[in-house]
Amino acid sequence: MLVKLFSGAVNGIEAVTITIEVNILNGAKFIIVGLPDNAIKESQQRVDSALREIGARIPGKRVIINLAPADIKKEGSAYDLPLAIGILAANEQLPADSLNQFMILGELSLDGSLKAVQGVLPIAINARAAGFHKIILPRENANEAAIVKDIEVYGFQHIREVVDFIHHPANATPITYDPQRANIVGNSMYDFKDVKGQETVKRALEIAAAGMHNLLMVGPPGSGKTMLARCLPSILPPMTIEESLETTKIHSVAGKLAGNSSLITTRPFRAPHHTISDIALTGGGAFPRPGEISLANNGVLFLDELTEFPRNVLEVMRQPLEDRKITISRARYSVDYPANFMFVASMNPCPCGYYNHPTKECTCNSGTIQRYLSKISGPLLDRIDIHLEVVPVDLEKITGQYESECSATIRQRVIAARNIQTQRFQDHPGIHCNAQMTSALIKKYCPLDAPSLTLLKAAMQKFSLSARAYDRIIKLSRTIADLAGAPNITPQHIAEAIQYRTLDRESWGSR
For position 183, what pLDDT does the model report? 63
CA-CA distance, 295 to 185, in Å (whole number)?
10
For position 509, what pLDDT does the model report? 45
Q: With 80 as the cut, is the pLDDT of residue 502 above it?
A: no
Q: Which of 447, 493, 497 is nearest to 472 (CA)?
A: 497
Same structural domain, 158 and 244: no
Same structural domain, 121 and 212: no
Q: CATH number for the domain including 448?
A: 3.40.50.300
Residue type, 363: T
Q: With 60 as the cut, is the pLDDT of residue 394 above it?
A: yes
β-bridge mates for residue 32, sequence order: 65
Is residue 43 included in any domain, yes or no?
Answer: yes
Q: Which of 177, 212, 236 lies at the terminal end of a domain, its last residue? A: 177
Q: Which of 256-260, 307-311, 408-412 is least confident?
A: 256-260
Task: Give the whole-number percent of the chain exceeding pLDDT 70.
Answer: 96
For position 185, what pLDDT does the model report? 53
Q: Which of 307, 410, 397, 302 is nearest to 351 (CA)?
A: 307
- Burial letters 198-220, b for 16+ CB under 10 A, else e: beebbbbbbbbbbbbbbbbbbbb
Same structural domain, 488 and 371: yes
Place 404 in a pLDDT band, splitting at 50, 70 and 90: confident
Is residue 182 included in any domain, yes or no?
Answer: no
For position 260, what pLDDT does the model report? 63
Question: Per-residue pLDDT averaged across 404-408, rounded?
Answer: 90
β-bridge mates for residue 10, sequence order: 15
Same structural domain, 116 and 236: no
Is residue 124 included in any domain, yes or no?
Answer: yes
Quick one: angle between helices 43-53 and 159-167, nearest 10? 70
Is residue 183 included in any domain, yes or no?
Answer: no
- Burial letters 275-300, b for 16+ CB under 10 A, else e: eeebebbbbbeeebbbbbbbbbbbbb
Q: With 50 as the cut, is the pLDDT of residue 366 above it?
A: yes
Is residue 185 included in any domain, yes or no?
Answer: no
Condensed to tens digits (0 to 9), the pLDDT of residues 108-148 reads 999 999 999 999 999 999 999 999 999 999 999 998 999 99
Is residue 66 included in any domain, yes or no?
Answer: yes
Q: With 60 as the cut, is the pLDDT of residue 506 above it?
A: no
Q: With 70 as the cut, is the pLDDT of residue 213 above it?
A: yes
CA-CA distance, 233 to 418, in Å (whole number)?
15
For position 222, what pLDDT does the model report? 87
Tell me phi and psi for residue 332, to 5 degrees.
-105, -10
Same structural domain, 172 and 229: no
Q: With 60 as the cut, is the pLDDT of residue 508 above it?
A: no
Tell me phi and psi for residue 202, to 5 degrees.
-60, -40
Q: Which of 129, 149, 177 lies at the terminal end of a domain, its last residue? A: 177
Task: Give the whole-number percent of the chain exceeding pLDDT 90.
Answer: 72
Question: 466: alpha, beta or left, given left = phi > 0 and alpha = psi -120 to 50?
Answer: beta
Same structural domain, 381 and 262: yes
| Residue 160 burial (10 A CB sphere; 0-12, 13-18, 19+) | middle
Q: Which of 85-99, 199-213, 301-315, 356-370 is least confident?
A: 356-370
Contact status, residue 493 vs residue 477, Cβ threshold 8 Å: yes
Same structural domain, 238 and 363: yes
Q: Which of 115, 146, 177 lies at the terminal end of a domain, its last residue? A: 177
Q: CATH number for the domain including 82?
A: 3.30.230.10
Contact status, residue 114 vs residue 156, Cβ threshold 8 Å: yes
Same structural domain, 172 and 197: no
CA-CA distance, 221 to 353, in Å (whole number)?
6
Alpha helices, H only, 21-109: 38-41, 43-53, 80-90
Residue ranges with strand state E in 382-452: 386-389
Condensed to tens digits (0 to 9), the pLDDT of residues 448-465 reads 999 999 999 999 999 888
| Residue 365 burial (10 A CB sphere; 0-12, 13-18, 19+) | exposed
Residue-number span of the structural domain to which 113 is assigned: 2-177
Same structural domain, 198 and 228: yes
Same structural domain, 210 and 157: no
Q: What is the mean pLDDT of the chain?
A: 91
Query: How much is the pTM?
Result: 0.88
For position 184, what pLDDT does the model report? 57
Q: Which of 62-76, 182-196, 300-314, 330-344 is least confident?
A: 182-196
Is residue 184 included in any domain, yes or no?
Answer: no
2-11/300-303 β-pairing: unpaired
How far, in Å, are 31, 56, 217, 434 from residue 210 at the CA level?
Answer: 57, 60, 17, 9
How far, in Å, are 8, 111, 135, 160, 509 from residue 90 at the CA level?
Answer: 20, 22, 20, 17, 75
Same structural domain, 31 and 151: yes
Please state the domain count of the chain: 2
Q: With 60 as the cut, is the pLDDT of residue 41 above it?
A: yes
- ω into residue 69 within 30 of 0, thus cis? yes
Question: Per-residue pLDDT averaged across 183-209, rounded?
Answer: 83
CB proximity list for 254: less than 8 A, separation 6 or greater: 118, 289, 290, 294, 295
Condensed to tens digits (0 to 9), the pLDDT of residues 292-337 reads 999 999 999 999 999 999 999 999 999 999 999 999 887 777 889 9
Same structural domain, 456 and 337: yes
